[in-house]
Structure 1
Amino acid sequence: MSLRFIGQHDFTSKGKFVWEILSQLRNMGEGRYITNYCWNTKWPLESSYIKIIAARPKMDRWLQQGVLWGEWTFRGIPLGVYKFGNELNRSQWILVHKHEEKKLIENEKKMPKIRLPSSFPIPPLQRLLANKLSKKLEILDKTTHTPQERALLDLCVDPEFEHLSSLFERFEPTKESSQNLNNNSIYNEVDPSNLLELLGQMFPVKIDALSSDKAYYKPLFKQKRN
């Protein structure tokens, strides 16, 4: 069986394990800076790094487990002190040399805020039913005194981006700010570059296992014959 790489090359496995780096430093690297190869590849203009405050390895056989406390700065945004555990078990970490620390810290470029609408247009069928119900019950919107055409939009943030919740900025779309406001679609009111910017300049690689054998069909459930 052969492996064929589809998409970008796997850039998430270039580097060393965190504990492989810290075990070779004095005081387990307290006060030093580490960065992630994945961060530097996706967002090379903004600085992302962790200043090590304390490190407690579990002294396992392969030296890949432990707990680390550090001041996390992600894309120029200081996020405070975080406790890291299994998130460090990837061979993609790089030690920042002391002569490069000043350049990394003094980088003023920051991640822009992600602007998302605070409401979305109600689908046409739901709007039609709401208008009929409002006429029947004489219930109108208190602010506009017209049948409701938009509904509040609550964000469901993926745990991967939960640390960036403070950077999400909500706005109410208007005809002046959106040319496609009358298209009755939330997709026309959101700038796709804001969401794509979260993925950075490199997309994850997809690995498919391909075989040169003949194709065949294997049913998951076999029917019993009487």
Structure 2
Amino acid sequence: MPIHYIGRESYFHGKSIYEIARNLRNFGEGRYVYRVSFSKRYKEPSFYKLRRVVPDMNAKGYCRGTATGEKIFRGVNYGLCNIDAGQKLDWRLIPKDEEQKWIDAFKEYEQKPIHKPVIPSIYKVPCLLEMVLSEEKTVYEIPFDREEATKLKVKIKTGKFNKAVLADG
């Protein structure tokens, strides 16, 4: 009798970081891991050097916990980060004899200058909102300055993953 699969095929092929780390000495501290989907999707090197992995030994399948590591994503070193996708079954351990190849590939990768998109610091409100504001001002008899009322100031989150900058500062 032939086997018939129902549903979509899983695109995760590997283990979770916690499954890998619990089989290594010191829970894999200092070892390198990568996501299979990232290695297929991007030509730039993407991997983590594990710093601290704490698997949740009470979780079913040992696929939960917390992990931190040095993140190299698409050839850019982001430094020490929490690994948010550690529970996904898409991780592979880089063998010790291949670690130097991955590190050399990262060092040889030509660093592109990071493009910082410039965003205007003030945007004009949408037309419908402008009409609603002008109607409210006339109903409540508040003086309405169209130039000042139709401007929105922009705030940008700051962090190491945000590359955008404001035009005026």
Give your verdict on TM over 0.5.
Answer: yes
Change (3 A) 1:55 1:128: closer
Change (3 A) 1:128 1:17: closer
Describe the superposition over 1:172-210 as per-residue Cα deviations: whole angstroms up to 9, x where unpaired: 8xxxxxxxxxxxxxxxxxxxxxxxxxxxxxxxxxxxxxx
Residues 134 and 144, structure 2, Cα contact 8 Å, conserved in 1: no
Describe the superposition over 1:120-165 as per-residue Cα deviations: whole angstroms up to 9, x where unpaired: 322224435666859x73747xxxxx45543224468xxxxx872x
1:151 matched to which residue of 2?
A: 152
Count of matched residue pairs? 155
- The Cα shift of 1:29 comes to 2.1
Change (3 A) 1:45 1:128: same
Alignment of 1:34-73 (within 5 A): 34-42=33-41, 44-60=42-58, 62-73=61-72
- RMSD across aligned positions (CA): 3.8
Change (3 A) 1:113 1:95: farther
- The Cα shift of 1:19 comes to 2.7
- What is the rounded CA distance, in whole Å, between the counterparts of 1:20 and 1:138 in structure 2? 63
List alignment gaps of at least 5 residues for structure 1: 141-145, 157-161, 173-226
TM-score (norm 1): 0.51
SS at match of 1:38: helix
Change (3 A) 1:99 1:24: farther
Q: Which has the higher contact order (CA 8 A, sep 6+)?
A: 1
1:16 matched to which residue of 2?
A: 15
Change (3 A) 1:104 1:65: farther
Alignment of 1:111-150 (within 5 A): 112-113=115-116, 116-128=119-131, 137=143, 139=145, 146-150=147-151
**AA at the equivalent of 1:88:** G
Give the share of equivalent positions with the same residue, in percent: 21
Change (3 A) 1:138 1:122: closer
- What is the rounded CA distance, in whole Å, between the counterparts of 1:64 and 1:155 in structure 2? 35
List alignment gaps of at least 5 residues for structure 2: none
1:169 matched to which residue of 2?
A: 165
Describe the superposition over 1:67-86 as per-residue Cα deviations: whole angstroms up to 9, x where unpaired: 3231223333333323447x
- What is the rounded CA distance, in whole Å, between the counterparts of 2:54 and 2:24 in structure 1? 13
